């Protein structure tokens, strides 16, 4: 069992802050605010933010934040990681303030991604303004969505997230894409079918996509209409995945990686009956590339 319970937030670095403001409000339908430090923050539920874009030239994911249950869980995770020889840093007062959390440690996965384990992310008493997504986003005990990352050494990354961080394997997908064999491992830490996908493929960016889930198919369709109206390139068109049953499309963000907007994701609430399978296609139907 993982000490990490939910995907709490994502921090992206980008030079395209104005484009991110427009993308977050017009395509995602999030409540977007520009902060005094120049960063852009996006709200989709009662959390103070779920996605933040800070100034920088990375155009990629800077950090992924995951919640822990309490002080004891955070301390236990730190001890366990140190005993395994993993370099762990405690968040500074400035970092805690910037993230809006009561506690924070951070470390890196085998290929350098910064993982932040955090305690008590700030909750806002004021509901977010989501006029474009009246049914809201699916979060709660499933966290804010999922991320899919690339890995040069899939086996090493699988072992880290499974054996060190305690993520549970959901399933695999293996498919040839443009003549290249692709293997993707999917992991969960709560009822969401996967909070993490790892693709064993070299890629220019560590983050392939992040996913937000909306409540119904109409919300997906309207988001697709908004993306097209805004001239946003589609990384993948409308389709359905065979493993998590998500009906979704992928829009290209201002930083070049994608965001998946979907609905109907499968939940794993009975670990005893769950069977790990290997699927032979990323999509049951649709999801045409560059559609």
C-alpha separations of 31 from 23, 46, 174, 290 in Å: 11, 11, 37, 27
Name the nearest CA neighbour of 97 among 156, 173, 17, 39.
Answer: 39
* Record: fold of 140-286: 2,3-Dihydroxybiphenyl 1,2-Dioxygenase; domain 1 (3.10.180)
Beta strand segments in the chain, E: 6-14, 31-34, 40-43, 51-55, 60-67, 89-90, 103-108, 114-119, 146-150, 168-177, 180-188, 196-199, 207-213, 234-240, 247-252, 258-263, 278-279, 285-286
Q: How big is the CA angle at 53 (ends 24 and 244), to the nearest 5 degrees?
A: 60
What is the overall mean pLDDT for the chain? 96
CA pair distance 56, 130, nearest whole angstrom: 28
Lowest mean pLDDT among 146-160, 164-178, 240-254: 164-178
Quick one: residue 61, left, alpha or beta (phi over 0 = left, psi -120 to 50 = alpha)? beta
Domain boundaries, the chain: 6-119, 140-286
CB-count exposure of residue 272 (10 Å: 0-12, 13-18, 19+): exposed
Condensed to tens digits (0 to 9), the pLDDT of residues 43-64 reads 999 999 999 999 999 999 999 9
pLDDT in tens, 51-108: 999 999 999 999 999 999 999 999 999 999 999 999 999 999 999 999 999 999 999 9
Same fold, 6-119 and 140-286: yes
The residue assigned the tokens 């499309």 is 249
Class of the CATH domain delimited by 6-119: alpha beta
Q: Specify the pTM.
A: 0.96
């Amino acid at each position: 069992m993982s000490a990490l319970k939910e995907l709490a937030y994502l921090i992206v670095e980008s030079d395209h802050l104005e484009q991110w403001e427009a993308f977050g409000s017009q395509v995602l339908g999030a409540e977007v605010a520009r902060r005094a430090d120049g960063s852009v923050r996006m709200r989709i539920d009662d959390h103070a933010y779920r996605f933040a874009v800070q100034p920088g030239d990375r155009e990629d994911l800077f950090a992924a934040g995951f919640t822990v249950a309490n002080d004891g869980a955070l301390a236990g995770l730190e001890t366990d990681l140190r005993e395994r020889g993993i370099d762990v840093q405690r968040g500074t007062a400035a970092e805690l303030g910037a993230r809006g959390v009561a506690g924070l440690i951070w470390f890196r996965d085998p290929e350098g991604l910064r993982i932040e384990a955090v305690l008590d992310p700030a909750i806002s008493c004021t509901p977010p303004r989501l006029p474009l997504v009246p049914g809201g986003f699916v979060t709660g005990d499933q966290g804010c969505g999922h991320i899919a990352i690339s890995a040069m050494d899939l086996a090493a990354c699988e072992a880290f997230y499974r054996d060190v961080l305690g993520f549970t394997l959901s399933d695999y997908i293996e498919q040839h894409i443009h003549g290249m064999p692709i293997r993707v491992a999917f992991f969960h830490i709560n009822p969401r079918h996967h909070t993490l996908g790892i693709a064993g493929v070299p890629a220019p960016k560590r983050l392939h996509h992040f996913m937000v889930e909306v409540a119904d198919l109409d919300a997906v369709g309207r988001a697709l209409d908004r993306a097209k109206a805004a001239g946003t390139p589609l990384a993948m068109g409308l389709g359905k995945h065979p493993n998590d049953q998500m009906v979704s499309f992928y829009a290209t963000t201002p930083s070049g990686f994608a965001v998946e907007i979907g609905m109907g994701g499968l939940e794993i609430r009975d670990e005893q009956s769950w069977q790990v399978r290997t699927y032979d296609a990323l999509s049951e139907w649709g999801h045409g590339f560059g559609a």
